[in-house]
Structure 1
């Protein structure tokens, strides 16, 4: 049958072109105007043909899927929403309702499977949407929605959210879920924008999208707020965010209050909402200014809707009943029901409620045995039937957090719980099965559901205060506080308690800042902390501090007094940090002739190899290559910037200095052009290793012989020591072997490996350099690095040592330009000015590079989003 004029589709979908060139949809870097979207929708509508037919859509968060949805809404074709991803649930619905056209997702596109040119169904003129009730995905029981209901609910939502054309919503929920669908409907109604994505809120790319697209809102179910806590949402800078909406189940009142208060501080609103698919999406909302005061309430009816409370016989409570233009036509359980018109005018919600102060409604219980988890309505009777089909005698209870079931008999229920969670499409943690001798029952023989639910009740863990401050020595360490340190120092927002410093991309340049802050909160950090997950770094509240001996080995009163005196004067710092700080001071002082102590630059070369082994050799070959190239960039960029400036303002350097090539193409021997030899050689080594280690065979060799591999590299380079080969390094001779020695030292886990490294150092370092005391400095520095994990530092020098170590590279490249301005007045002043200038440059450059990395990450996220949505 052809579409009649009075069967025109839903107006917000049919009138997209009215908003002209306003941006409608953004997908990655691509922006689609309302005019362009109207053309896409029109073309799709024409592909459906003139006859009104039943269309089934595997609804995903893609442009093609959205186009099919809007085309059906605009042209009046009833649309059956299928779950995303296809599978058994989709096939059940297709088999039950036999749609005329099936739009399936394939590689980010929608492929139309046209089964017939004319419909075989009797389709009611008002029918627009067929949607599964929450949690009944795959069930033949569907909600029948009219086009007027969809339009009315979109209008009501737009009114109470005060939506405007300048708003942009990110699609945090799937289009197949009525809540996610309502976000699209209400925004397109007013000419606002949709940032189309399927990224999770735990993905840092999602937050880059929020910033780059100036997202003003996103939708959340209760589980989303747990994820927001995990990713450090409270610390995020999101200037465009105007509000967050919450629905899909009850959010704990304490969370409502917490996020509402956070929103008040940060300038955005929290809209707590209540709805059901049977009401097209929304029935009530809690005004944001009431969320802190009345966090238990669902609020007031949406515009155009009304509640009434109907007493329930036998219960001292009333059922919440809703009426409004967004109430469904009725249910469909078979194809013949598609011909039915309106069967109900008000919706019995099944929830028990009361009306409190200010006319706010509050849910106090459920009349039916349903719970809602992660936005999905779970039928507890169906849970019992599933378990019965598995041959188990069970009774199920639940809350908006878990399904708990008592199962008779002594059984191993782990696999059963996993299977049940998959069938219910809820997280595995939301299903708890308990083996019991017999099901708890009331006196009348019915299952005692409160007693069954009580099986899942555990004592609430003590909530540690969120008290980490970088300058508070008395603050107890918590996983959250350590997560914050990692997030701040590494500029990451996706830090989980299972992450480590290395897995998050930490390197030697950020290592100092993190280790110093960790020492301040933890008191002492274990050796190898950079590879330990955060949850292992933080001691249990009742555990003894590291090094505690217990009563039998505890020091006496005199010993405790000495320890207390020492702790007031000295603080332990990691040896590598102290060596970096001391070495850079000695290098600058020697170059300025304040005093002379040569060899510390070569100690830094060994330390560079040591840090390379700790930070650059984990993960897959691709991950490792990315991390190594990032480390090279963080050395090259600030170095080239300074040397380039020196090339422009002085006559002391050449173009090959700027590009760090003097060691290869510059004049032989030591000249003034060789001043940046350390940076040049280090960069050459790092680039060479990045290329070498990406070769599969080399990668396998490294993994098989992690200690022997760097020694082979050292042996090859030491051939120059015996004049077998010769390379044009400017006056410094070969240094790769020192880098490799540091690498081997880092992976020396056993005493005999450290002993072997000591022997190798004694055999090779003395005599390798023109000066004996230079050789001695290098030897002593290397042995300290090899054998001594921490060194005592006066507390007054703790911060200075950390600053000098963090900025050592920046001091090295800038001091050549700084000290000549002070040298004739005072060499001591020249040293101090050079160190200070390097620290300032470090602070400015790291911030600039951090901003650049965030921009690049945003671009990468945008490209990923395009690939996910439109590829």
Structure 2
């Protein structure tokens, strides 16, 4: 029991924080690790407040979407301490704000979560109403802060609860950063109602985000305009989210056609779209558009939130008299700004908020933003509205951000936009000569961590000399919060955190080299950049060499989130398990065929590994059509090199038949053939991919897989066992292809990739241990396959050495090509088995190099045409399956 003195500050704190315990055992926080009840959260918050003491102090909290950060933030509020909330993963911003405001206590990550008491009392004169300080400029570390009171926080939370109709049973996923006022408002409003937060730092571009949302029965999702770009990429329209009740949008203008699209999508999917408008200066929200009006009024911000009011102040120099500057009043309007520690003693200095936005009120009483007063630029004597230019280009299908310079308008565009066309469009629209319009074609528009346009970053980019402008592009920051590491090392220019000895820029260059991409940025992951199972091999080996370890699920982590601990020379190396199995299996296959030794089972183990990689690289969070494109691309990259090699061999001898060339020998080939069985494995993988593509093409099956990612492959494994045990006696009569007889190994590998938790891993292991024995009648062969499955399920990596990693990477990456070509090598060298093995591996590796170079030439020929546009329209995960 806490002493009464420690509870007294809570009497003047935010009511929804003070009253957490009143919600009892209802879930307050849901994470991938479990649930935290309101009673438990209240205890943790009270403990944190007790540790901070009763002397009211300025407490800096490093904001992150973690339980520790949430408890620290609420604990400081509970104790009545003013909180300075700063972005996590941005050491420069943290350092700048610490230097500017000299907080008494710093709560943040440091070998876990640390309390840095810089003094036992306070160095500041803190106004009694002051509760929260938020930056006005996202994550830049600007000393200009918004001063908010406990009344502000409570009033805005209650207003949001009312117009969203938040229920106690709701579960909101934290799709936005905690330090961002929009993301923070989601936390406040749900805690005020006694609803739950699904707490995660994953990006919506990560498949694991959607797995968590489904598992946690999430009911709401919040996003800024850039979030909706990501939703398009990951196939949100085709996702099955049975518990989703509503989606909210704020943080910038979403184009009317996008609003209408998502409103109609919500109608079909059974959820509502709330378009909202707000500013940090109003705690968060000022207006919302009722969902039933979104389709017919997609350009509007709607009506004031409960308790708030708008008025339009005349703008003398604006040509439309109906347009005025939007002014807002309400209990959520800030106390005022702070620019120095002395300002923390100030009380209310603002009663009416001048938003700086130009608006009009429509006939239906809905407000519409038509421009930004403070963004107007005067160029060559003409008054230019950059937002009007952006809207113009949007109507032409060009995403753009504009800023005014001293004597020119800078227009940043993305995609395949032609700079001359853009310049002419803009010049004609605003009346400027073309020479006064400078167009920058970028890989992506500069954005703050909140997803808003980074106007300061664009100005800096435009001002940079040509020699340095290009390298500055990686500094663009997308709304992928998982790209914000919590390391406290010095940040680099990209806003990421350099690893010990390896900077984010170094990693970006490595990704660009391995993936042959020129658009690598710190916030993107391997999967975002179109990585596949072949490049996965090389990248995993090279990353392990750079980082000294392989983080779990590294291929889904943003580059900026990859960190390497300081390790001494001679540090222990590791190798990704699927890479190790591919390398070992191909050596066992070739060596047993020579025979240098007899250790069989490698091909059937590779069938399981192929299923494992199918789940990771084909069944991404992309939409159903994109998944089909990915599977089609995989088929092409398996079939074309195979047919090319078989066709080349047929030019020189009669070893193979047309049925072999067309990969249909197991269906139509003669029974007495002696060599056509060489490619049974390739045929099996191709048939399985074709069959699974047909399944995924069915909307219901696609939804079933997303909803039950583990149960579906296990169910298919049960069906596959009908062929394994020949339940209907068909194999004896028709000589079934290997895809039907051994396909259950592929689906079991798929299940191994989806296994989450000890129970599911045990189920896959037991399934392998029970069903593999007896398949061949060769205990050693069967033991090899079972052991391989056990490694896949239980060990993401295996101990290794640097030189072993390099060799394994080459072998695994070339495994398909070694398999194809070794039949033409070892028969001529049987008398020298070691030489036969080396020659077989060498020829396969050489063929892999040739295929890779041809692939790059073809890709280069298609870029920047249809192929690149397809990637941008349908997402980056155009992938392939390799052995």
Question: What is residue 84 of structure 2 aligned with on the other side?
Answer: 80
Supply the distance in 1 between the matched residues of 2:849 and 2:345 (Cα, whole angstroms).
82
Question: What is residue 581 of structure 1 aligned with on the other side?
Answer: 667
Supply the distance in 2 between the matched residues of 1:611 and 1:743 (Cα, whole angstroms).
23
2:56 maps to 1:52:
yes
Which of 491, 498, 510 in structure 1 is aligned with 2:530? 498
TM-superposed CA distance for 1:752, in Å, is 13
Question: What is residue 311 of structure 2 aligned with on the other side?
Answer: 308
TM-superposed CA distance for 1:704, in Å, is 5.8
Supply the distance in 1 between the matched residues of 2:114 and 2:722 (Cα, whole angstroms).
52
Question: What is residue 445 of structure 1 aligned with on the other side?
Answer: none
Distance 1:225 1:573, change over 3 A: farther
Question: What is residue 296 of structure 2 aligned with on the other side?
Answer: 293
TM-superposed CA distance for 1:369, in Å, is 2.3
Contact 1:7 1:125 in 2 (8 A): no
Question: What is residue 15 of structure 1 aligned with on the other side?
Answer: 19
Question: What is residue 156 of structure 1 aligned with on the other side?
Answer: 159
- Secondary structure (helix, strand or coil) at the match of 2:247 reads strand
Contact 1:611 1:746 in 2 (8 A): no
Question: What is residue 250 of structure 1 aligned with on the other side?
Answer: 253
Residues 239-638 of structure 1 aligned to structure 2 (within 5 Å): 239-316=242-319, 317-369=323-375, 403=455, 413=466, 415-416=468-469, 418-419=471-472, 422=475, 498=530, 507=610, 529-530=636-637, 575=661, 577-582=663-668, 597-599=671-673, 603-604=676-677, 606-608=679-681
Residues 60-75 of structure 1 aligned to structure 2 (within 5 Å): 60-75=64-79
Distance 1:63 1:746, change over 3 A: same
TM-superposed CA distance for 1:607, in Å, is 2.9
Contact 1:170 1:197 in 2 (8 A): yes
**CA offset digits 1:13-50 (Å, max 9, x no partner):** 11100000000001213100000000000000000011
Which of 231, 239, 247 in structure 1 is aligned with 2:234? 231
TM-superposed CA distance for 1:89, in Å, is 1.3
Unmatched segments (≥5 aa) in structure 2: 377-385, 391-400, 411-435, 447-451, 481-524, 537-554, 556-577, 579-608, 619-623, 641-657, 690-710, 729-766, 852-883
Residues 663-682 of structure 1 aligned to structure 2 (within 5 Å): none
Distance 1:379 1:100, change over 3 A: farther
**CA offset digits 1:726-780 (Å, max 9, x no partner):** xxxxxxxxxxx9x999999987849999xxxxxxxxxxxxxxxxxxxxxxxxxxx
TM-superposed CA distance for 1:140, in Å, is 1.1
- TM-score where L is the length of structure 1: 0.56
Question: What is residue 842 of structure 1 aligned with on the other side?
Answer: none
Supply the distance in 2 between the matched residues of 1:509 and 1:205 (Cα, whole angstroms).
16
Residues 119-138 of structure 1 aligned to structure 2 (within 5 Å): 119-135=122-138, 137-138=140-141
- TM-score where L is the length of structure 2: 0.55
TM-superposed CA distance for 1:71, in Å, is 1.1
Supply the distance in 1 between the matched residues of 2:365 and 2:659 (Cα, whole angstroms).
61
Larger radius of gyration: 1
TM-superposed CA distance for 1:91, in Å, is 1.1
**CA offset digits 1:330-388 (Å, max 9, x no partner):** 00111111111111111000001000131100011111128899xxxx99689999x9x
Contact 1:27 1:195 in 2 (8 A): yes
Contact 1:79 1:128 in 2 (8 A): yes
Contact 1:2 1:52 in 2 (8 A): no
TM-superposed CA distance for 1:401, in Å, is 5.7
- Secondary structure (helix, strand or coil) at the match of 1:358 reads coil
Supply the distance in 2 between the matched residues of 1:665 and 1:93 (Cα, whole angstroms).
69
Supply the distance in 2 between the matched residues of 1:689 and 1:152 (Cα, whole angstroms).
54
TM-superposed CA distance for 1:87, in Å, is 1.2
**CA offset digits 1:426-445 (Å, max 9, x no partner):** 689xxxxxxxxxxxxxxxxx
Residues 780-799 of structure 1 aligned to structure 2 (within 5 Å): none
- Secondary structure (helix, strand or coil) at the match of 2:146 reads strand
**CA offset digits 1:291-319 (Å, max 9, x no partner):** 11111111100000000011012223310
Supply the distance in 2 between the matched residues of 1:383 and 1:577 (Cα, whole angstroms).
66
Distance 1:384 1:34, change over 3 A: farther
Deviates more, 1:16-25 or 1:716-725: 716-725
Distance 1:715 1:394, change over 3 A: closer
Distance 1:175 1:53, change over 3 A: same
Supply the distance in 2 between the matched residues of 1:234 and 1:409 (Cα, whole angstroms).
36
Question: What is residue 700 of structure 2 aligned with on the other side?
Answer: none
Equivalences, count: 581
Contact 1:56 1:80 in 2 (8 A): yes
Question: What is residue 756 of structure 1 aligned with on the other side?
Answer: none
Distance 1:136 1:603, change over 3 A: closer
Unmatched segments (≥5 aa) in structure 1: 388-392, 429-492, 534-571, 587-596, 617-629, 648-654, 668-676, 726-736, 754-871
**CA offset digits 1:213-238 (Å, max 9, x no partner):** 00001110100111111111111011
Question: What is residue 95 of structure 1 aligned with on the other side?
Answer: 99
TM-superposed CA distance for 1:582, in Å, is 2.6
Question: What is residue 43 of structure 1 aligned with on the other side?
Answer: 47
Distance 1:499 1:301, change over 3 A: same
Distance 1:723 1:364, change over 3 A: closer
Contact 1:610 1:745 in 2 (8 A): no
Residues 692-731 of structure 1 aligned to structure 2 (within 5 Å): 700-701=806-807
TM-superposed CA distance for 1:104, in Å, is 1.8
Question: What is residue 544 of structure 2 aligned with on the other side?
Answer: none
Supply the distance in 1 between the matched residues of 2:246 and 2:721 (Cα, whole angstroms).
44
TM-superposed CA distance for 1:119, in Å, is 1.0
Distance 1:509 1:7, change over 3 A: closer
Contact 1:57 1:81 in 2 (8 A): yes
Supply the distance in 2 between the matched residues of 1:752 and 1:191 (Cα, whole angstroms).
61
Distance 1:507 1:634, change over 3 A: farther
Residues 849-860 of structure 1 aligned to structure 2 (within 5 Å): none
TM-superposed CA distance for 1:613, in Å, is 12
Distance 1:685 1:189, change over 3 A: closer
